[in-house]
Amino acid sequence: MDYRFEISLPDSSDFRCEIAINGEQTFLDFYDKIVETLNYDRSQMASFFTLDRMGNRVKEIALMDMSDDEENATLVMDNTKISDVVKPGCLELEYVYDFFNNKYLRVEFAGEYHRDSSDVLPVCLCCEGDIPEQTFYDGDNDDWEIDSPEEEYDGDYDDSFMEEFGNDDYDDEDRKPRRRSSYDDDDYYRDERYESLDDYIDKL
């Protein structure tokens, strides 16, 4: 069976889109067509959610399964068929395209689609109005910065650690670690019997 879905904003009539898809195709196919139609960024997380009769989210259909609970494992788009989820008791979904701001679209089953022989599903049947803007997160926001493992030294070394293991490898001036050279006087061994490397090789 071929399905027809109407996609719209939950609280506005400014946007409306219709997509047809075969029941044997997956939610990943559906996701790909939505992203292509709305020109959204594929690197951002997104999920479909089934709803109960009160409109509460029940089951997530995600791009990838990040759940550690095997009993309540998240459904994954690439192996979940449309017909596995959309049934008489589940005809409305939510498509979350911006998790950080909880922005989502309403996805409603709008009946069977009767396609022409030339149709290649999924297909966008229409897209009207202002496409909802997707917030883009590129990792440059200060709130999402990850501390570098080579973070600048702040001068706060543990003195007890220094006393226990000695401080020969630390400069007295600023207590920063000093990288010891392999040619420091107390490390570098030179056999006095040989004046040069050539002398040493000749002896061999």
Q: Is the pLDDT of residue 66 over 90?
A: no
> Which CATH code of 3.30.565.10, 2.30.40.10, 3.30.930.10, 3.10.290.30 fits the domain covering 2-137?
3.10.290.30
- Name the nearest CA neighbour of 18 among 148, 106, 98, 79: 106
- What pLDDT is recorded for position 193? 54
Contact 75, 81 (CB under 8 A): no
pLDDT band at 68 (very low <50, low <70, confident <90, very high): low
Q: Which residue has the higher pLDDT, 146 or 186?
A: 186
The rounded radius of gyration (Å) of the Cα atoms in the chain is 31
Domain regions of the chain by residue span: 2-137
- Name the nearest CA neighbour of 30 among 105, 117, 131: 105
Q: What is the C-alpha to C-alpha distance for residues 85 and 16, in angstroms, rounded to an integer?
A: 22
Q: What is the C-alpha to C-alpha distance for residues 79 and 81, in angstroms, rounded to an integer?
A: 6
pLDDT band at 74 (very low <50, low <70, confident <90, very high): confident
- What pLDDT is recorded for position 117? 81
pLDDT band at 118 (very low <50, low <70, confident <90, very high): confident
**CA distance to 20, 59, 168, per residue, from 37 (Å):** 12, 25, 65
Averaged pLDDT for residues 129-142 = 74
- What letter represents residue 172's amino acid? D
Q: Can you give the pTM of this predicted structure?
A: 0.66
Q: Is the pLDDT of residue 138 over 80?
A: no
Contact 57, 50 (CB under 8 A): yes
Q: Is the pLDDT of residue 176 over 70?
A: no
DSSP state of 41: -
What are the tokens at 24? Answer: 């044997």
Contact 95, 103 (CB under 8 A): no
- What pLDDT is recorded for position 197? 55
Averaged pLDDT score across all residues of the chain: 78
Helix (H, G, I), strand (E, B) or coil at 151: coil
